[in-house]
Each structure stands twice: as structure tokens, then as C-alpha cells.
Amino acid sequence: MAMVEVGYRFNTFYFALQDKNYDLAQYQFDKIKKAIQNGIIRRPARKTNSERMFLKSPYKKMALALKSKNIQQIEKEYANTKNLCNRCHKAERVPFIKVIDPQYRWQVIK
């Protein structure tokens, strides 16, 4: 269920970025981090890739970009984060799970 939560929160994260609501984006990004940490408890074999591709440096870079509110930096780190999600899926032998930019909002918040 951890990745279901990640997907749900990623949708809100993405649209918060589109709306330039960086506080909401940071909130959702923090919740994504927590969901991945919770997922590691259930599936400890995925810890190495989760930490290397998200929880350590990549998470910090996106958080710093959000804090800066610099749109070019945010766009760069968003693209990097999405790419790393897909690389992690490949490393975990689920390459058929591809993270894309959401097309529709799942929540009615902005």
C-alpha cells in the first residue's frame, strides 16, 4: 500500500507545483518520503534502492529547490526525481511501472 499512497500524493505534489503552491508541494513531498520509509519496513529488500535513489540526496535536492521557490531549479529537480523513480522501478525489476506527469487532479485542493 505504500506505493499506492506515493502515487496518490505524487498527483497532488505535481499539481501543487503547477499551481506554484510550494508549501503544499513540500507537504506532499514530505509525505511521499514517509510513505517510502513505511514501505521499507514492509519490504526491507527495497531499502538500498529507495535510499540511494530518493531518501538521501535526491530528496534533499528537491526540498532545497522547493524552499528556494526558484522555478527553474524546481523544474530541474522535479524532472530528476521523476527519472529516479523510473530508474528505481527498473532496479526493482518492475520497469513496467512508469511514472508520468499526471493528467488529472485526484483532489479538489490547490
Average pLDDT score over residue span 3-9: 95
Average pLDDT score over residue span 62-77: 97
Q: What percent of the chain has pLDDT over 70?
A: 100
Evaluate if pTM is beyond 0.75: yes
DSSP 59-99: HHHHHHHHHHT-HHHHHHHHHHHHHHHHHHHHHTT-TT---
What is the band of 25 on the pLDDT scale with cuts at 50, 70, 90?
very high
pLDDT digits (tens, 9 = 90+) for 34-63: 999 999 999 999 999 999 999 988 999 999
Going from N- to C-terminal start, the domains of the chain cover: 2-91
pLDDT digits (tens, 9 = 90+) for 79-102: 999 999 999 999 999 999 999 999
| Beta carbons of 91 and 52 less than 8 angstroms apart | no
What kind of fold does domain 2-91 have according to CATH?
Answer: Four Helix Bundle (Hemerythrin (Met), subunit A) (1.20.120)
Average pLDDT score over residue span 3-23: 96
